[in-house]
Structures are given as C-alpha cells and as structure tokens.
Structure 1
Amino acid sequence: MSSDFARLGVPTSLVAALEARGITSPTPIQEATLPDSLAGRDVLGRGRTGSGKTFAFLLPLVARLSDGRPAAPKKARSLILAPTRELASQIEESLTPLAKTAGLSHVTVFGGVNQNPQVRALSRGVDVLIACPGRLLDLMGQGAVDLSAVTITIIDEADHMADMGFLPMVRRILDKTPESGQRMLFSATLDQGVGVLVKAYLHQPVTHEADSAESPVKAMDHHLLKVDKAQRVGIVAELAAAPGKMIVFTRTKHGAKKLAKQLISMGVPAVDLHGNLAQNARTRNLEAFHSGAVRTLVATDIAARGIHVDDVELVLHADPPAEHKAYLHRSGRTARAGKAGTVLTLVTPDQNSEVRALMRAAKINPTTAVVRSGDELLASLAPGEREFLSPEAAQAVAYPSKPAQPQGNGGNGGNGGGNRRRPSSAGADRPSAGGRPGNRRDSESRRDGESRGGARRGGSGERRGGGGGERRGGESRRSGSGHSSASRAGSTGGVAAFSAQRRRGR
C-alpha cells in the first residue's frame, strides 16, 4: 500500500492538508476507490465502520469542486447525506481543513437545533452541504435550499439509513438532484433496501470492497463474562474505574441514563449518549469523553456508528445487542486504525442461549469465563489501579456545570471526597435554543428525526422519535438486560469491598 496519496491522483495541496493531520498512508478503501472517484465515476464503496470511508469520499469531492465557480444563492454544489447528527458533525470536522485549503464553503444541517442559522448560511449558497434527511427535507419544503445545481452526491452509512427508515426520504432528496451528477454510496452492507437505492440512482457504479462488514476485526479480543444479575452493575463499575477510555453499551435509552447515574453514585464519572438527549447535551457529553475529562461513555446503539474517538481501549456490552451486526458495529469503536482493543460482553443466566446465537452469527469465538466482583480476571482485562471518587466528586467531573445531587447510598469505594481529575470545562447541560416555529426541541421525551427513521409525514423527520437504530436493537422494548434487576445494595456492595482492597491491575 503506497504512502503517497498523490500517486492515486489526489492534488498536492490536499496531500499536504492530510499530512498536517498525520495522515500519510491511504487505507484499503481509499486505495481502492480514489482513482475512480477522482475521475468522476459513480462509486459503490463497501467497508466496515472505521475503514477510512470519510476521506475516501471527501478527497474527490473537494478536488472536483476546486474549480473556482461560486455557488448561487440558496443552491448547493454538492451534497453529503448522513444518518445521524454525530456522523454529520464528524464529517464536517474532517472536511474543514480540506475545504479551507481549497477555498470551499460548507454548511451542516440537522434537526434538534434552531434552523435559522442554517437558513441564513444556505441563503448565500454553499459548495458542500452536509445534511441529515429530516431537516434537509424540511428546509427544501420551505424553499431555503435548492438541489438543482448539485454535481456530486454522497450517501454515507447507507445501510444505517435503511435501519433507521430513512431510505424513502433519501429517495425524495435524490429525486431533486440532477441525474447527470456523480453519485457515491458508502455502506457496510447492501441489504435492507440499499441495493434498490444503488440500482435506482447510481449509473454503472464501480464497486469496491475493502473489508467485509460481516468479518470481525482481528485486532480485537472478545470475552464473554457470565455474571449474576445482582453483581452486573458492580462489575461494570470495577471495569469503568480502571484507566483508559471505555464505551459501555446498553439496549435502551432509559438503561443508558440509569447506568450512568449508577456509576456516578459509585464514584465513577460517566456520561450518557442516547436519542433522548438534547443536541447541546449530546455535544457536551461527547466532548467530555473525547477530551478524556470523562473516561466512561454509556451509550445506546446511537454510538455504534459514525462516532470516532481515539484510543478507546475497551468496549463493554453491558446489555448484549439484539443482533450480530449491532455487535460488530458496537465493537468497532475500539481496535481502530490498526490498534488492538478488547470487547467484553456481560451475560446473565437468562441470556446464555441468546448470546450463543449472537456469537455464531457474528462469527466470533470468544473466551468465556464466570466472574464475580473483585475477581483477578477483571483486573487483567482492564488493567491499572482503580479510581473511585466520592459520588459528589464523580458528579462534578461528569457534569461540572450541574450542582451536586444527593446520591443516596450508592457507595463510592472509599476514596473520600478527593477528586484526582480536573473537571471538564464543557458547557452546561441545558435545553437547546429550539427550532423553527412549531418544531419541538430534542429533549428527554421529544422526538429526533436524525436519530430515528420514518418517511411518514413528508420531510418532518425531526418530529419523529429518537434512536432508530436503537429502536431496532430493542430501544422501544423494555429488555430485562436493559434494566438491571439487581438491587442497588447488591451491586454496590461488591464495589465497596473491591475498593476497600484497592486492588491493582496486572
């Protein structure tokens, strides 16, 4: 694999912009697709999450738009569709240095926030429009944006679009773009209607597959930990108290929120991420985790795709996912960019048969062990000295702008009130400023078109509920694994005993 992007046809100025970010060698998906995409061909790229697909489509997009032609008012010269706001924001982050080098303008639109800044930015015209389907259809219906000048259209995470019910909305959007334009679609799989989308909108696409979405990453170690329900939360806390970043997955939004609070009550700073959070809370929690101010993120499947955080050492399935693809996508948050990672799945007695079937479908042969709180195996899987704060100190680290709340008898591991970490400077967890008139805010009980699918009611995806991929994985059904039946006393007692011993990892 060449380390020279220029050999693939990438302009020198963009090669320099990549090198400034420490990117010197193309990934397999970039190596395979760039010659065709730079030549203007329609491209179908298949590769797993984290394979480098973002730069595989951003580089040709920026290179081909660098012709000096300005965008007309209310018109976009190119369009990138993404299923979630988090993915849209990360695409924008990757695009920014490239667009600055080429002198291109860009706007990102999604629901759950005030639309007025988006409308003002679009009124001037834009070279690159990054959008989630629901909000884009709303803006199109209001006449705020015109797609008739789009020359390049990119659909990212198309299979996730399908999982969330967005494909009818995507078709309505693509129908407004010129048929003669270049179209690129990137997806991990071609099921769930994605193949129909390819046949309808891509013209003689060149297909490249760099990585099968069905194959596990070799750099991952997979472990099944059989646990008693009464000790499940305590074991999560033992693992989360170790050094390093960890993502803990639950099946439901309620489960993520509850588990994050339980960890804080045990002295482990944690933030949650799920479809019921307002956009500014999502952004703040992700930034706290990304920066390392908080090392534990408790999330639903909304974090299984499109969320890139460096150096996630451990993925913990506190609730096993409902199907094997979700397991692979969740697990893909670690072992990225060639690094190794560890994936743990907690299995309660009632989940044994379900998890066995899940592993067979995912083609995973995990190491299995029965564990209890304080076992040496936990210290070896998540090595390092455990750090338990007081509940008040953990709350201050996780939510520095929130007043401390009484934590009851959650147990904290006996570390007193000492806070060994500097609190995050992230913003307060307040509701968003709201959207257009009549558009509900994305709050705990309200709806988020970017997080949940549905083509019903036209383009008003923002009015349709939160967490489409999560819903498919069991968001809307109250799974026993999503709501631990452990008594708080049972789960925290193990942590207190463990903390008192102050075990050190190997």
Structure 2
Amino acid sequence: MPSFTDLGVPSSLARSLAGRGITEPFPIQAATLPDTLAGKDVLGRGRTGSGKTVAFALPVVARLSDSKAQRAKARPRALILAPTRELATQIHATVEPLATTAGLTSTTVFGGVAQSRQVSALNGGIDVLIACPGRLEDLIKQGLCSLDAVEITVLDEADHMADLGFLPVVKRLLDKTPRGGQRLLFSATLDNGVDILVKRYLDQPTTHSVDPAVAPVSTMTHHVLVVADADAKKQVVHELASGTGRRVLFTRTKHQAKKLAKQLTQDGIPAVDLQGNLGQGARERNLGAFTSGEVKVLVATDIAARGIHVDDVELVVHVDPPAEHKAYLHRSGRTARAGSGGDVVTVQLPEQAGDVRDLTRKAKITVTPQRVAPGSPVVAALVGEVAPHVAPAPPAAPQQQRASR
C-alpha cells in the first residue's frame, strides 16, 4: 500500500495524520487521492467507516493551501455538506487539525443552535465550511453567507440527504457555487435522485467504488436472537448492554430510546440516548460521553444512525428490527468500522419472524435465528466480560418553593 506522501499528500498533512495514529491510507483514500489532489471531480462509493472523511478532507485542505485566493468575510472557499449535525461535527473534528496545520480556518453551520456564533465565525473569514443544508440556506437568504468564492464542494452521505428530503435544498446550494469548481460526492448508493446530482453537478467524474453499494461488511458477524415474549426481550437486551466494550442499541422511536437509556442507567449500566427530541447541547454531551468512553452504551434512533462515527463499537443491537434493509445495513455499519470486527444482533419476537427473514434476505445476509432466554450461553458469549455495576446518581432534590408572602 502506498504511503500518504506517495499519493501526493503534503508531508505536513501526513505528519498531522500520523500524530493522530493514521499512518497508512485506507483503500478509499488510496483510490481517490491521486484524482482529488489533481483537482478532478470524483464520485466515491464507500460505506460509512471506510475512511472517506480523511479521503475528502486531505484534498480540500491541500488544494486550498495551494490556491492563491484569500479568505474573505462570509465567503467560504470550500463547502462540505452533511445531512446531520452529528456528522457535520465529526467531519469538523477531522478537518480542523489538518486545516490548522495548513494555516486555514474552518467552522460548522447547522440548525438547533443560535446562529449568532456561526455568523461571527463566517464574518471572521472561513476557508472550510462544514454545513447542514437547511441552516446554510437560511443564512444565505439573510445575506449572511455567500457561496460565490467556493473552489471545492463536497457532498458527504448524499444518499442520506436524499432520504431526509434535502436534495432540493442541496441543488439550490450547488447552483450558488461557481461553475468549474471541483466537486466530490460520496454516497453508499445512487438511488433516490443521487444519480441526478452526479449527472448535473459533476464534470466527467472519476468513480471509485471500494465496496459494493450498501453491502454487508465482511468483518461483521450477524445474529438473530429469538425471544419468547416482551419480558424475555427486555432482560436479554439488558444483558447485551452489560459488557465492557462500546455498544449501540437501536430503537424505532425517540420515546423508546430515551426510556431504554434511563432504564439501563437505573439498572447500573450507564447509558445515553441520541434521538431527535434532544437539544443540541444534550446531543453533544451524550455523544461526547460515548466517544470518550465515559459511557459505553448509546441508545439511538434511525435518524441518528448515519451521524455516529465512533470507532471500536464491538456490538450493535437492533432492539427493534428496522423497517427496511438499507436502515439495517446503515445501523449495522456502526460496528466493524475501519477494518475492525464486530457483532450485529437483531432481537426478534415470535411475531416478527417474517419481517426479519425478509429484512436479512434483502440485505443479502445469511443468518440462522437462534432461540434464546435470559442467561443463555449464546447471549453470554456476545456480552463477553461484564462491566462493573455503577450505582445511578441519586435524583436531584426538588428545590424548595419560596414561602409565599
């Protein structure tokens, strides 16, 4: 495998990566970097966890460093569009150290928080802007940001933007960037209108497919555990959450995610939730606690699945089987990231047998359902070493009401 510098990455950026333990390119990086660093439009087909954030962060920073253009107030020079706040934040965590090494500035723009800080950052002059489509379009309509100086545009997880209904906004934003600028698009699939984006906005793109579109990852091991009833399911889920490694549990609804995280914590298994009703501060705190390892269990809904980029997740549990196979694969992609192994467990009630069979068939996964009960050896093997019980914090004492005068 060639080194980053062999592929044309400036040595200062290669050293920055090495300082964070990234010393050898992943396949998607080795495949795309020669073209992206040369200024070509690229369509990258790689699953989440394949290393694609570094694959586009490097050419963005390297090419802006070589550009003679100067940063200007509210006129970013590179635009990276992402579907969720979590993904935008995590892309920024990869981009920022590289940008700083090159003497460039970067910031994020997304909804759910006050726009004042975002506007201040833009007014200070930004080289790389990482944004979610909705808030960015709002700022442009208010005259607070312009895309007329953008030299490089990246669309990350374009298929997820399509799933969320963002493509009309994405097209309006791309129409505001200069023709002739470099454009990079990364997507696991090309359905739901993503193919139209490629035809309309990429100029003779080079396509690099490192994985078959939305394919199961070979380092994942899939399990279907059949439980007798809801009580057995609850106990088995709690057992699966009790190991020492990181694990992500998926539920269908926001309410269920919040409730399960609370129940696990009360049972001595610290857990945090990630779902749409949380404010941005709570989302960042919860994801931060999980990323740092302070908490080993994250309970999430589908909408959060695509934005979680955390390495070393050893177990994904579908507490509720997802509605369709693409969601199953994207949820499952939280484990076996960056070449690591991982287990994926679907907990199935008897009445869900047909749905789960259909789901795994469409996802091209061969798995034999196993009947289990709480305490089964199969469950114990998936749990591994059990983490020490952590007594939940006592509830805060209610504040005394002031005596009425």
Which interval holds the TM-score relative to the shorter structure?
A: over 0.9
Structure-2 separation of matches of 1:385 and 1:103? 46
* Farther-moved stretch of structure 1 (302-311 vs 31-40): 302-311
Contact 1:9 1:35 in 2 (8 A): yes
Matches within 5 A, 1:264-413: 264-385=265-386, 387-389=388-390, 393-395=391-393, 403=396
Which residue matches 2:128?
128
Matches within 5 A, 1:191-210: 191-210=191-210
Structure-2 separation of matches of 1:252 and 1:90? 24
Large movers: runs of 4+ above 6 Å: none
Contact 1:321 1:327 in 2 (8 A): yes
- Paired positions, count: 396
TM-superposed CA distance for 1:386, in Å, is: 5.2
Aligned with 1:8: secondary structure?
Answer: coil
Contact 1:273 1:302 in 2 (8 A): no
Which residue matches 2:250?
249
Structure 2 alignment gaps of length 5 or more: 399-405
Letter in 1 for 2:63: R
**Deviations 1:364-420, CA, capped at 9 Å, x for gaps:** 11242111112222111111135444xxx2346xxxxx7289xxxxxxxxxxxxxxx
TM-superposed CA distance for 1:257, in Å, is: 1.0
Contact 2:45 2:188 in 1 (8 A): yes
Contact 1:14 1:101 in 2 (8 A): yes
**Deviations 1:454-499, CA, capped at 9 Å, x for gaps:** xxxxxxxxxxxxxxxxxxxxxxxxxxxxxxxxxxxxxxxxxxxxxx
Aligned with 2:309: secondary structure?
Answer: coil
C-alpha RMSD of matched pairs (Å):
1.4
TM-superposed CA distance for 1:294, in Å, is: 1.2
Contact 2:96 2:105 in 1 (8 A): no
Contact 2:76 2:147 in 1 (8 A): yes
The 1:35–1:268 alpha-carbon spacing in structure 2 relative to 1, beyond 3 Å, is same
Structure-2 separation of matches of 1:394 and 1:200? 54
Structure 1 alignment gaps of length 5 or more: 397-401, 406-506
Structure-1 separation of matches of 2:389 and 2:242? 6
Which residue matches 1:52?
51
Contact 1:395 1:404 in 2 (8 A): no
Letter in 2 for 1:21: R
Aligned with 1:13: secondary structure?
Answer: helix
Which residue matches 2:23?
24
Contact 1:245 1:295 in 2 (8 A): yes
Aligned with 1:50: secondary structure?
Answer: coil
Structure-2 separation of matches of 1:126 and 1:14? 19
The 1:386–1:89 alpha-carbon spacing in structure 2 relative to 1, beyond 3 Å, is closer
**Deviations 1:304-334, CA, capped at 9 Å, x for gaps:** 2131222111110000111111111111111
Which residue matches 2:152?
152
Which residue matches 1:110?
110
Give percent identity, aligned residues only. Answer: 63
TM-superposed CA distance for 1:264, in Å, is: 2.4
Matches within 5 A, 1:56-75: 56-67=55-66, 69-75=69-75
Aligned with 1:394: secondary structure?
Answer: coil
TM-superposed CA distance for 1:140, in Å, is: 0.3
Letter in 1 for 2:296: R
Aligned with 1:149: secondary structure?
Answer: coil
**Deviations 1:256-288, CA, capped at 9 Å, x for gaps:** 112112222323221100111000000111111
Which residue matches 1:260?
261
**Deviations 1:134-174, CA, capped at 9 Å, x for gaps:** 10001001111111011111100000000000000001101
Aligned with 1:73: secondary structure?
Answer: coil
Letter in 1 for 2:243: A
